[in-house]
């Protein structure tokens, strides 16, 4: 295939080692592989994360979890998102752990499991300031006891999530809220098997938020989620294509839809058969760069559904030459966080939106 995604599984193993060096030995690692492993490929990356030392995997939904079971991955799996009651039996059948957000869901889960003589594993989610899923901290001990009193439900953990790990003041307020929740359990002699809160950024910034486990996603794939000088994490993904056609245009000629690029002088244009349907954001039109012949070149004109254009003036660029949209070629490198700035988004979106239909080649030495 012309367009492909290269995945370096060695980098996943390296990144988990780097993350574990930040943790006390007893702290567990929950490897987040949601969103098709942030666009890297669910089953292959989940297997690499699990065999590289993660203690549990986390996914967005039940379909992802079942897919991992079908791929014969036996790791404990936590679903972070919503699971509809009609799927509760499948949850138990495949030994998958549910995030529990409210009492109504707990009652439905208990009843469904009792009906089929099954037991469900759950982690209680507490909303300490994200404003998304979760029980409020107020009354959490009472609600926890109500859930634990229900039959056919086994509580294996409790967790929360940061709203903005880059904001130390608000993050420490959230940490304090979660610490108060855990202190409330201690006061009532309630033993919580696993408490976790920190995702990648918080794992590196707030050691007090490590608790019993950390949930790392972005860090596994080579990014910190905040600006940092060259670190030890290694990017896992590269996105590559080839030049389909090279043409020359004159001064005053336009390139692409809506004529957003007008050549000020004669230039050499390379057409690349990759566009926004492949997950390369249209927001990168006229602002992004790619690598051709070991040098950075400008993306010009509007990015199309299945094509984009590059200014390769001055380069010995011909059809079939490799084009790197993300990754390295020679001494030149394009990182996802740089691309995210151009697109006015975050690294998570840049990685996870790469189309699952693109060929992924996995490399492991």
Q: pLDDT tens digits for the chain (365 residues)?
A: 799 999 999 999 999 999 999 999 999 999 999 999 999 999 999 999 999 999 999 999 999 999 999 999 999 999 999 999 999 999 999 999 999 999 999 999 999 999 999 999 999 999 999 999 999 999 999 999 999 999 999 999 999 999 999 999 999 999 999 999 999 999 999 998 899 999 999 999 999 999 999 999 999 999 999 887 668 999 999 999 999 999 999 999 999 999 999 999 999 999 999 999 999 999 999 999 999 999 999 999 999 999 999 999 999 999 999 999 999 999 999 999 999 999 999 999 999 999 999 999 999 86
Measure the CA–CA gap between 135 and 119, rounded to whole angstroms.
22
Domains and CATH numbers, the chain: 9-220 (3.20.20.10), 237-334 (2.40.37.10)
Question: Which of 17, 146, 154, 257 is labelled catalytic?
Answer: 257
Question: Which of 28, 34, 121, 240 is labelled catalytic?
Answer: 34
- End-to-end, the C-alpha distance of the chain in Å comes to 23
Give catalytic status of residue 118 as yes or no.
no
DSSP annotation of 135? B
Give catalytic status of residue 125 as yes or no.
no
Residues 6+ apart with CB under 8 A from 138: none
Report the alpha-carbon angle 11-44-23, nearest 5: 45
């Amino acid at each position: 295939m012309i367009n492909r995604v290269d995945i370096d599984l060695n980098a996943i193993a390296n990144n988990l080692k780097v993350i574990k060096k930040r943790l006390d030995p007893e702290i567990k690692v929950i490897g987040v592989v949601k969103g098709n492993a942030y666009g890297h490929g669910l089953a292959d990356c989940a297997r690499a994360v699990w065999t590289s030392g993660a203690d549990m995997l986390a996914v967005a939904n039940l379909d992802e979890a079942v897919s991992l079971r079908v791929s014969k991955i036996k790791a404990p799996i936590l679903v972070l998102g919503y699971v509809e009651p009609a799927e509760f039996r499948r949850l138990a059948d495949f030994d998958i752990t549910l995030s529990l957000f409210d009492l109504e869901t707990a009652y439905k889960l208990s009843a469904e499991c009792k009906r089929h003589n099954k037991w469900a594993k759950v982690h209680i989610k507490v909303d300490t300031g994200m404003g998304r899923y979760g029980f409020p901290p107020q009354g959490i001990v009472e609600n926890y006891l109500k859930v634990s009193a229900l039959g056919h439900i086994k509580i294996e953990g409790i967790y929360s999530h940061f709203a903005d790990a880059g904001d130390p003041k608000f993050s420490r307020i959230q940490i304090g809220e979660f610490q108060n929740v855990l202190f409330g359990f201690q006061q009532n002699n309630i033993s919580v098997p696993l408490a976790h809160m920190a995702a990648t950024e918080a794992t590196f910034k707030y050691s007090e938020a490590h608790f019993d486990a950390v949930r790392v996603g972005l860090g596994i794939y080579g990014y910190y989620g905040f600006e940092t000088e060259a670190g030890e994490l290694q990017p896992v993904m590269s996105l590559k294509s080839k030049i389909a056609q090279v043409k020359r245009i004159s001064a005053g000629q336009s390139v692409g839809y809506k004529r957003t690029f007008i050549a000020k002088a004669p230039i050499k244009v390379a057409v690349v058969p990759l566009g926004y349907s492949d997950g390369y954001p249209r927001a990168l039109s006229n602002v992004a760069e790619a690598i051709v012949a070991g040098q950075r070149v400008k993306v010009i004109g509007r990015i199309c559904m299945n094509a984009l254009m590059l200014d390769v003036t001055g380069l010995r660029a011909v059809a079939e030459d490799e084009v790197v949209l993300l990754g390295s070629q020679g001494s030149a490198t394009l990182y996802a966080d740089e691309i995210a700035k151009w697109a006015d988004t975050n690294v998570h979106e840049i990685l996870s939106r790469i189309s699952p239909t693109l060929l992924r080649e996995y490399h492991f030495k």
